[in-house]
């Protein structure tokens, strides 16, 4: 997905023009921000899964799931915690969470083919107690509530690339997220399009930054950077 590394500014009492400057419109939109793109991608992945049992792309690799699971262990997130995987794709994270012992799992995605793929993948693993729903995170306000943990791996990135009014989409995302998480609940985001500073900026109201999870770093032109950011937030009022 598109990559950009800009600094951050505080977001309290932003005006619209400040919002524009606030690391909002600093990369190009793309087809990866459209439902059609994901539907086509998951239709292909679904066919492949049915043919040869390959679950398809694990966004940001296996380690992107392991590092979150390790943090959940350390934070002693109970196995009966209500966990939501936002934009679950092929459901691979739900499988890992279930194998780890979590038993109150929900995955949502707006692509019907993703939902079918995730259900197939879970069923093949014998994991029949996981809920997977076709839901657009940007138009479901009030439907998703009371989650102890919300996980996003690549979905806010995709939403940020939406060619149709992506500024509004990003705001809607934050509103829905706030409704979905219980007080003191946890939000875990893994992103390749936004830096730590930009994510802190975006999730500064109603969330408290808890921790950054270490991700692989690279060196370029004498500077060190990370291609992926993984952050933990707590929902606060």
Ligand X SMILES: C[S@@+](CC[C@H](N)C(=O)[O-])C[C@H]1O[C@@H](n2cnc3c(N)ncnc32)[C@H](O)[C@@H]1O
Binding site for ligand X (CB under 6 A): 38, 59, 87-89, 92-93, 108-111, 114, 136-138, 153-155, 158-159
> What residue ranges in the chain does DSSP mark as E strands?
82-86, 104-109, 131-134, 147-153, 181-191, 207-213, 217-220, 223-226, 229-235
We find the least distance from the C-beta atom of residue 181 to ligand X, in angstroms, to be: 16
Residue 43, SS3 per DSSP? helix
Compare residues 9 and 226 and give the one whose CB is closer to ligand X: 226
| Closest CB 202 distance from ligand X, rounded Å | 16
**Residues 189-224, buried b or exposed e (16+ Cβ, 10 A)?**
bbbbbbbbebbbbbbbebbeeeeebebeeeeeeeee
Among candidate residues 161, 159, 164, the one with its CA nearest the CA of residue 138: 159
User: Each residue of 151-186: b (16+ CB within 10 Å) or e?
Assistant: bbbbbbbbbbbbeeebeebbebbeebbbebbeeebb
d(Cα 191, Cα 150) in Å, to the nearest integer? Answer: 14
Q: Could you tell me the smallest distance in angstroms from the CB atom of residue 108 to ligand X?
A: 6
Distance of closest approach, residue 15 Cβ to ligand X, in angstroms: 26
Instruction: Kindly tell me which of 191 and 198 has the beta carbon lying closer to ligand X.
Output: 191
Cβ proximity to ligand X: between 22 and 144 the closer is 144
3 versus 18: smaller Cβ distance to ligand X: 3
From the CB of 120, what's the least distance to ligand X, in Å? 15
Residue number with CB closer to ligand X (89 or 185): 89
């Amino acid at each position: 997905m598109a990559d950009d590394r800009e600094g951050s500014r505080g977001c309290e009492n932003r005006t619209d023009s400040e919002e524009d400057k606030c690391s909002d419109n600093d990369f190009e939109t793309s087809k990866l921000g459209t439902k059609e793109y994901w539907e086509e991608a998951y239709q292909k992945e679904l066919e492949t899964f049915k043919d040869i049992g390959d679950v398809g792309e694990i966004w940001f690799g296996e380690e992107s799931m392991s590092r979150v699971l390790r943090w959940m262990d350390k934070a002693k997130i109970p196995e009966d915690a209500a966990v939501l995987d936002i934009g679950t794709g092929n459901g691979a994270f739900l499988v890992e969470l279930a194998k780890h012992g979590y038993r109150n799992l929900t995955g949502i995605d707006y692509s019907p083919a993703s939902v079918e793929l995730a259900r197939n993948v879970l069923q093949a693993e014998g994991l029949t107690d996981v809920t997977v729903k076709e839901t657009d995170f940007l138009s479901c306000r009030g439907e998703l509530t009371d989650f102890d943990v919300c996980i996003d791996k690549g979905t806010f990135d995709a939403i940020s690339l939406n060619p149709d009014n992506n500024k509004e989409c990003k705001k809607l995302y934050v509103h829905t997220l706030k409704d979905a998480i219980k007080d003191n609940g946890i939000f875990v985001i893994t992103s390749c399009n936004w830096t730590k500073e930009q994510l802190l900026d975006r999730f500064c109201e109603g969330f408290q930054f808890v921790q950054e999870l270490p991700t692989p770093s690279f060196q370029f032109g004498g500077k060190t950077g990370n291609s992926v950011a993984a952050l933990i937030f707590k929902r606060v009022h």
